[in-house]
Structure 1
Protein backbone atom coordinates (compact mmCIF):
# COMPACT_ATOMS: atom_id res chain seq x y z
CA UNK A 1 0.00 0.00 0.00
CA UNK A 2 2.90 2.36 0.71
CA UNK A 3 4.15 2.06 -2.88
CA UNK A 4 0.70 2.97 -4.24
CA UNK A 5 0.46 5.92 -1.86
CA UNK A 6 3.92 7.09 -2.97
CA UNK A 7 2.91 6.72 -6.61
CA UNK A 8 -0.23 8.81 -6.02
CA UNK A 9 1.72 11.55 -4.24
CA UNK A 10 4.32 11.64 -7.03
CA UNK A 11 1.56 11.77 -9.63
CA UNK A 12 -0.20 14.63 -7.86
CA UNK A 13 3.06 16.56 -7.60
CA UNK A 14 3.63 15.91 -11.30
CA UNK A 15 0.14 17.20 -12.05
CA UNK A 16 0.98 20.70 -10.82
CA UNK A 17 1.24 23.18 -13.65
CA UNK A 18 2.73 26.64 -13.69
CA UNK A 19 0.46 29.40 -14.91
CA UNK A 20 1.80 32.95 -14.87
CA UNK A 21 4.49 31.97 -12.37
CA UNK A 22 2.06 30.53 -9.82
CA UNK A 23 1.48 26.84 -9.21
CA UNK A 24 -2.04 25.63 -10.01
CA UNK A 25 -3.06 22.12 -8.98
CA UNK A 26 -4.90 20.10 -11.56
CA UNK A 27 -8.29 18.67 -10.60
CA UNK A 28 -7.40 15.12 -11.52
CA UNK A 29 -9.65 12.25 -10.50
CA UNK A 30 -8.03 9.60 -8.32
CA UNK A 31 -9.77 6.24 -8.62
CA UNK A 32 -9.34 2.71 -7.27
CA UNK A 33 -10.64 -0.05 -9.56
CA UNK A 34 -10.63 -3.83 -9.38
CA UNK A 35 -9.72 -5.95 -12.40
CA UNK A 36 -12.61 -5.74 -14.88
CA UNK A 37 -14.33 -2.91 -13.01
CA UNK A 38 -15.29 0.43 -14.59
CA UNK A 39 -16.60 3.79 -13.48
CA UNK A 40 -17.72 7.02 -15.14
CA UNK A 41 -16.46 10.54 -14.44
CA UNK A 42 -17.84 13.67 -16.05
CA UNK A 43 -16.35 16.95 -17.14
CA UNK A 44 -16.55 19.94 -19.43
CA UNK A 45 -13.87 19.78 -22.12
CA UNK A 46 -12.74 22.09 -24.89
CA UNK A 47 -12.43 21.10 -28.54
CA UNK A 48 -9.16 19.22 -29.00
CA UNK A 49 -8.58 18.80 -25.27
CA UNK A 50 -6.80 15.56 -24.39
CA UNK A 51 -8.20 13.38 -21.61
CA UNK A 52 -5.96 10.61 -20.30
CA UNK A 53 -5.56 8.01 -17.58
CA UNK A 54 -2.50 6.54 -15.93
CA UNK A 55 -2.45 3.59 -13.58
CA UNK A 56 -0.05 2.16 -11.02
CA UNK A 57 2.61 -0.54 -11.38
CA UNK A 58 0.10 -3.40 -10.91
CA UNK A 59 -1.99 -2.25 -13.88
CA UNK A 60 -1.12 -3.23 -17.43
CA UNK A 61 -4.22 -2.11 -19.33
CA UNK A 62 -6.70 0.67 -18.65
CA UNK A 63 -9.14 1.97 -21.28
CA UNK A 64 -11.10 5.19 -21.81
CA UNK A 65 -14.37 5.72 -23.68
CA UNK A 66 -15.60 9.29 -24.20
CA UNK A 67 -19.36 9.88 -24.45
CA UNK A 68 -21.07 13.13 -25.45
CA UNK A 69 -24.04 14.61 -23.57
CA UNK A 70 -26.48 12.42 -25.53
CA UNK A 71 -24.61 9.21 -24.65
CA UNK A 72 -22.95 8.65 -28.04
CA UNK A 73 -19.38 7.32 -28.12
CA UNK A 74 -17.24 10.08 -29.65
CA UNK A 75 -13.76 8.70 -28.89
CA UNK A 76 -12.17 5.62 -27.36
CA UNK A 77 -8.73 4.27 -26.53
CA UNK A 78 -8.99 0.55 -25.91
CA UNK A 79 -5.44 -0.34 -26.88
CA UNK A 80 -3.44 -2.71 -24.69
CA UNK A 81 -1.59 -0.07 -22.66
CA UNK A 82 -1.61 1.69 -19.29
CA UNK A 83 -1.78 5.29 -20.59
CA UNK A 84 -4.90 5.77 -22.76
CA UNK A 85 -5.64 9.16 -24.35
CA UNK A 86 -8.84 10.41 -25.99
CA UNK A 87 -9.62 13.83 -27.41
CA UNK A 88 -12.80 15.90 -27.16
CA UNK A 89 -14.10 16.52 -30.71
CA UNK A 90 -15.85 19.75 -29.67
CA UNK A 91 -16.48 21.87 -26.59
CA UNK A 92 -19.08 20.61 -24.14
CA UNK A 93 -20.04 18.24 -21.35
CA UNK A 94 -18.77 14.68 -21.64
CA UNK A 95 -18.72 11.44 -19.67
CA UNK A 96 -15.52 9.41 -19.50
CA UNK A 97 -15.82 5.69 -18.83
CA UNK A 98 -12.65 4.35 -17.19
CA UNK A 99 -12.24 0.59 -17.59
CA UNK A 100 -9.67 -1.42 -15.62
CA UNK A 101 -8.96 -4.07 -18.23
CA UNK A 102 -5.92 -5.64 -16.53
CA UNK A 103 -5.02 -5.21 -12.86
CA UNK A 104 -2.87 -7.92 -11.31
CA UNK A 105 -3.33 -6.93 -7.66
CA UNK A 106 -6.31 -8.68 -6.00
CA UNK A 107 -7.17 -5.50 -4.05
CA UNK A 108 -7.29 -3.34 -7.19
CA UNK A 109 -5.21 -0.66 -8.86
CA UNK A 110 -4.91 3.11 -8.55
CA UNK A 111 -5.86 5.20 -11.59
CA UNK A 112 -5.58 8.93 -12.14
CA UNK A 113 -7.73 10.55 -14.85
CA UNK A 114 -6.91 14.07 -16.02
CA UNK A 115 -7.06 16.40 -19.00
CA UNK A 116 -5.18 19.31 -20.54
CA UNK A 117 -7.23 21.88 -18.61
CA UNK A 118 -8.40 19.59 -15.77
CA UNK A 119 -11.95 18.66 -14.94
Structure 2
Protein backbone atom coordinates (compact mmCIF):
# COMPACT_ATOMS: atom_id res chain seq x y z
CA UNK A 1 0.00 0.00 0.00
CA UNK A 2 1.34 3.46 -0.87
CA UNK A 3 0.01 6.58 0.82
CA UNK A 4 1.57 10.02 0.31
CA UNK A 5 4.97 8.53 -0.46
CA UNK A 6 4.89 6.00 2.38
CA UNK A 7 5.11 2.31 1.62
CA UNK A 8 3.81 -0.13 4.23
CA UNK A 9 4.15 -3.88 4.44
CA UNK A 10 2.51 -6.25 6.92
CA UNK A 11 4.68 -9.00 8.39
CA UNK A 12 2.92 -12.35 8.64
CA UNK A 13 3.82 -15.58 10.38
CA UNK A 14 1.66 -18.28 8.82
CA UNK A 15 -1.68 -16.46 8.51
CA UNK A 16 -1.21 -14.14 11.49
CA UNK A 17 -0.11 -10.50 11.21
CA UNK A 18 2.84 -10.14 13.60
CA UNK A 19 4.40 -6.85 12.60
CA UNK A 20 4.85 -4.13 10.01
CA UNK A 21 7.37 -2.11 8.07
CA UNK A 22 6.96 1.41 6.72
CA UNK A 23 9.37 3.48 4.67
CA UNK A 24 9.31 6.75 2.79
CA UNK A 25 11.31 8.08 -0.11
CA UNK A 26 12.76 11.28 1.37
CA UNK A 27 14.46 12.30 -1.89
CA UNK A 28 15.47 10.81 -5.24
CA UNK A 29 18.54 9.23 -3.58
CA UNK A 30 17.33 8.45 -0.03
CA UNK A 31 14.75 6.17 1.60
CA UNK A 32 14.12 6.15 5.35
CA UNK A 33 12.70 3.16 7.15
CA UNK A 34 10.32 4.82 9.61
CA UNK A 35 8.74 1.82 11.31
CA UNK A 36 9.87 -1.75 11.77
CA UNK A 37 8.01 -3.70 14.40
CA UNK A 38 7.57 -7.37 15.24
CA UNK A 39 5.25 -8.39 18.08
CA UNK A 40 7.31 -9.33 21.13
CA UNK A 41 6.02 -12.92 21.23
CA UNK A 42 7.29 -13.46 17.67
CA UNK A 43 10.77 -12.00 18.17
CA UNK A 44 13.92 -14.15 18.24
CA UNK A 45 12.42 -16.51 15.62
CA UNK A 46 14.03 -15.09 12.48
CA UNK A 47 10.80 -13.41 11.36
CA UNK A 48 12.17 -9.87 11.62
CA UNK A 49 15.37 -10.84 9.82
CA UNK A 50 13.42 -12.36 6.92
CA UNK A 51 11.05 -9.36 6.79
CA UNK A 52 13.87 -6.81 6.71
CA UNK A 53 15.73 -8.86 4.09
CA UNK A 54 12.66 -8.81 1.83
CA UNK A 55 12.04 -5.10 2.48
CA UNK A 56 15.64 -4.17 1.65
CA UNK A 57 15.46 -6.22 -1.56
CA UNK A 58 12.35 -4.26 -2.56
CA UNK A 59 13.76 -0.90 -1.50
CA UNK A 60 16.99 -1.48 -3.45
CA UNK A 61 14.95 -1.73 -6.68
CA UNK A 62 14.25 2.03 -6.43
CA UNK A 63 15.94 3.88 -9.32
CA UNK A 64 18.69 6.39 -8.38
CA UNK A 65 18.77 5.21 -4.74
CA UNK A 66 22.10 5.74 -2.96
CA UNK A 67 21.14 5.70 0.75
CA UNK A 68 18.84 3.66 2.99
CA UNK A 69 18.56 4.92 6.55
CA UNK A 70 17.06 3.79 9.83
CA UNK A 71 17.04 5.22 13.35
CA UNK A 72 17.03 3.40 16.69
CA UNK A 73 17.54 4.06 20.38
CA UNK A 74 21.33 4.29 20.88
CA UNK A 75 21.19 2.38 24.17
CA UNK A 76 19.75 -0.71 22.40
CA UNK A 77 22.70 -3.03 21.62
CA UNK A 78 20.38 -5.65 20.07
CA UNK A 79 19.12 -3.13 17.48
CA UNK A 80 22.67 -1.95 16.77
CA UNK A 81 23.91 -5.49 16.16
CA UNK A 82 20.81 -6.49 14.16
CA UNK A 83 20.98 -3.53 11.78
CA UNK A 84 24.78 -3.77 11.46
CA UNK A 85 24.35 -7.37 10.27
CA UNK A 86 22.47 -5.94 7.25
CA UNK A 87 25.23 -3.43 6.50
CA UNK A 88 23.81 -0.38 8.29
CA UNK A 89 26.63 1.82 9.60
CA UNK A 90 26.09 4.33 12.39
CA UNK A 91 26.63 7.93 11.31
CA UNK A 92 25.63 9.77 14.49
CA UNK A 93 22.82 10.90 16.72
CA UNK A 94 19.85 12.59 15.04
CA UNK A 95 19.62 16.04 16.68
CA UNK A 96 15.84 16.13 16.31
CA UNK A 97 14.94 13.05 18.35
CA UNK A 98 18.18 11.79 19.91
CA UNK A 99 18.08 8.48 18.04
CA UNK A 100 21.05 6.84 16.35
CA UNK A 101 21.04 7.24 12.58
CA UNK A 102 22.47 4.32 10.61
CA UNK A 103 22.76 4.09 6.83
CA UNK A 104 23.48 1.69 4.01
CA UNK A 105 25.31 3.39 1.12
CA UNK A 106 24.59 1.82 -2.24
CA UNK A 107 26.96 1.89 -5.21
CA UNK A 108 26.11 4.38 -7.93
Instruction: Answer yes or no: same fold by TM over 0.5.
Output: no
Q: With CA pairs under 8 Å and 6+ residues apart, which has the higher RCO, 1 or 2?
A: 1
TM score, norm. by length of structure 2:
0.35
TM score, norm. by length of structure 1:
0.33
Higher helix content, 1 or 2: 2
